[in-house]
């Protein structure tokens, strides 16, 4: 499938299912148990619609924004995802390069390439966040936090929805081919996910944010918050940002979709949007999905799989995926009557009642 024939992010998924190795496809597309959380992430966006405004001058639309005070060309970021190297030999480096050229932030993580290589692939002044899993060996986590601080990363994304890994059956059924070089992982014969699992600290708790803040001055974004109550706790415990996420449906089965948590937060605690930056990820495949989230108050919107899938074509694929998203965001903003991101307000989005309501 030639790249010119790809016109939306779903096309990238279809193409990736043909191009990628079976192991890469299984790992990327995998979700917990029966895929309920994953499906819900995609379906949830269909429960929200627009209340567009007309007769507003939208001849020029500016989608520039910022995250934690860092300017970004659009309010979209690359979610951290392990093992981009399964899909392309240049792995995460393609994603870093494409994100840098497009002017968006990537949440990088210790992956197929060491974090030093990812940092070296940056453009000058290209901002990166580092996604941290707290290791059972706290000294090792301290070392990594200091390292990313020294390397000039701009923030820590602390992932909190993975005390252990969810049950990912596609991944369980695969056997790792020996050609895959997982330089940083003690590879476990029961699958890629199981190899990652062996490093996590299941005893992480809210007071550990203070521990991270005692090691670094970098802002901490809590990734994987799934309830309004936990947004409150994240703010109380000093989070600079909260990423509403269910890990792309890969952890808890029957987890809430981030867009629904965002909506509930807007209803119940609109004040918290002034106290911390709220981001969401999970199931975002269209510019209209992004715009709905922004209107409800998200400061930035993350995508995971679409960038892994587009990376099957290398850097030019990732660049194209970002470009498609940008065009769709501009189109949607024009059509809802918003010339800049701050013109997007909650009144532009409505929620359709579900059958049970
Ligand atoms: C992830 N995600 C993830 N999150 C994280 O905090 N650390 C990680 O190492 C990974 N690894 C990872 C691998 C793969 C293959 C996927 C698909 C996802 C979750 C990721 O950051 C994000 O939350 C979701 O991918 C968002 O959902 P979509 O956009 O994939 O639907």
Beta bridge partners of 222: 158, 242
Q: What are phi and psi of 75, to 5 degrees?
A: -80, 50
pLDDT given at position 190: 55
Angstrom distances, CA of residue 352 to CA of 48, 52, 54, 260: 6, 15, 22, 12
Confirm whether the ipTM is greater than 0.85: yes
The residue among 193, 81, 200 whose CA lies nearest residue 134 is 200
- How far does residue 62's CA lie from ligand 1's centre (Å)? 28
Q: What pTM was estimated for this model as a whole?
A: 0.94
Is 290's C-beta closer than 6 angstroms to any atom of ligand 1? no
pLDDT given at position 169: 82
- How far does residue 303's CA lie from ligand 1's centre (Å)? 8
Per-residue tens of pLDDT for the chain, all 357 residues: 899 999 999 999 999 999 999 889 999 999 999 999 999 999 999 999 999 999 999 999 999 999 999 999 999 999 999 888 788 888 999 999 999 999 999 999 877 888 999 999 999 999 999 999 998 889 999 999 999 999 999 999 999 999 888 888 888 887 644 333 344 444 455 555 655 555 788 999 999 999 999 999 999 999 999 999 999 999 999 999 999 999 999 999 999 999 999 999 999 999 999 999 999 999 999 999 999 999 999 999 999 999 999 999 999 999 999 999 999 999 999 999 999 999 999 999 999 987 666
pLDDT given at position 182: 44
- So which residues are the catalytic ones? 133, 161, 247
- How far does residue 305's CA lie from ligand 1's centre (Å)? 7
- How far does residue 250's CA lie from ligand 1's centre (Å)? 8
The residue among 255, 262, 274, 241 whose CA lies nearest residue 158 is 241
Q: Which of 20, 41, 43, 80 to mutate to test the pocket of ligand 1 (most atoms within 8 A of CB)?
A: 80
Angstrom distances, CA of residue 118 to CA of 115, 186, 216, 227: 5, 21, 20, 33
Is 82's C-beta closer than 6 angstroms to any atom of ligand 1? yes
CA 89 to chain centre: 22
Is 109's C-beta closer than 6 angstroms to any atom of ligand 1? yes
Orientation of helix 315-336 relative to helix 9-19, angle to 10°: 160
Shortest-distance atom of ligand 1 to CA 157: 6
Shortest-distance atom of ligand 1 to CA 243: 23
Is 223's C-beta closer than 6 angstroms to any atom of ligand 1? yes
Shortest-distance atom of ligand 1 to CA 284: 29
Is 159's C-beta closer than 6 angstroms to any atom of ligand 1? yes
Is 247's C-beta closer than 6 angstroms to any atom of ligand 1? yes
- Cβ(290)–Cβ(269) under 8 Å? no
- Cβ(70)–Cβ(154) under 8 Å? yes
Angstrom distances, CA of residue 270 to CA of 143, 228, 262: 37, 11, 10
Alpha helix ranges (H) inside 78-185: 91-102, 115-120, 138-150, 169-172
| Residue ID of nearest Cα to ligand 1 atom 13 | 81
């Amino acid at each position: 499938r030639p790249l010119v024939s790809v016109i939306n992010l779903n096309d990238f998924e279809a193409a990736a299912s043909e191009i990628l190795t079976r192991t890469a496809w299984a790992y990327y597309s995998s979700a917990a148990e029966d895929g309920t959380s994953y499906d819900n992430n995609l379906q949830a966006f269909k429960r929200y619609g627009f209340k567009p405004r007309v007769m507003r001058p939208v001849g020029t639309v500016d989608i520039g924004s910022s995250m934690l005070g860092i300017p970004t060309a659009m309010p979209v970021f690359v979610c951290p995802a392990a093992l981009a190297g399964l899909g392309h030999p240049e792995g995460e480096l393609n994603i870093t390069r494409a994100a840098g050229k497009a002017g968006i932030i990537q949440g990088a993580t210790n992956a197929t390439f060491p974090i030093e290589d990812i940092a070296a692939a940056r453009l000058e002044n290209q901002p990166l966040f580092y996604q941290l899993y707290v290791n059972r060996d706290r000294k090792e986590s301290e070392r990594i936090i200091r390292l990313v601080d020294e390397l000039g990363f701009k923030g820590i994304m602390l992932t909190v929805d993975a005390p252990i890994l969810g049950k990912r059956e596609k991944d369980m059924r695969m056997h790792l081919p020996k050609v895959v070089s997982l330089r940083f992982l003690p590879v476990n014969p029961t699958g890629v996910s199981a190899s990652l699992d062996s490093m996590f600290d299941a005893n992480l708790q809210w007071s550990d944010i203070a521990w991270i803040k005692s090691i670094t001055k970098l802002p901490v974004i809590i990734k994987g918050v799934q309830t309004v109550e936990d947004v409150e706790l994240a703010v109380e415990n000093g989070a600079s940002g909260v990423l509403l996420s269910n890990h792309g449906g890969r952890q808890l089965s029957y987890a809430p979709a981030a867009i629904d948590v965002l909506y509930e937060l807007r209803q119940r605690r609109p004040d918290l949007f002034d106290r911390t930056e709220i981001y969401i990820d999970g199931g975002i495949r269209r510019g209209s999905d992004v715009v709905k989230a922004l209107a409800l108050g998200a400061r930035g919107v993350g995508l995971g799989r679409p960038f892994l899938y587009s990376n099957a074509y290398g850097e030019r694929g990732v660049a194209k995926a970002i470009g498609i998203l940008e065009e769709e965001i501009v189109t949607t903003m024009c059509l809802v009557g918003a010339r800049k991101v701050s013109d997007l307000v909650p009144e532009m989005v409505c929620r359709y009642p579900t059958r049970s309501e």
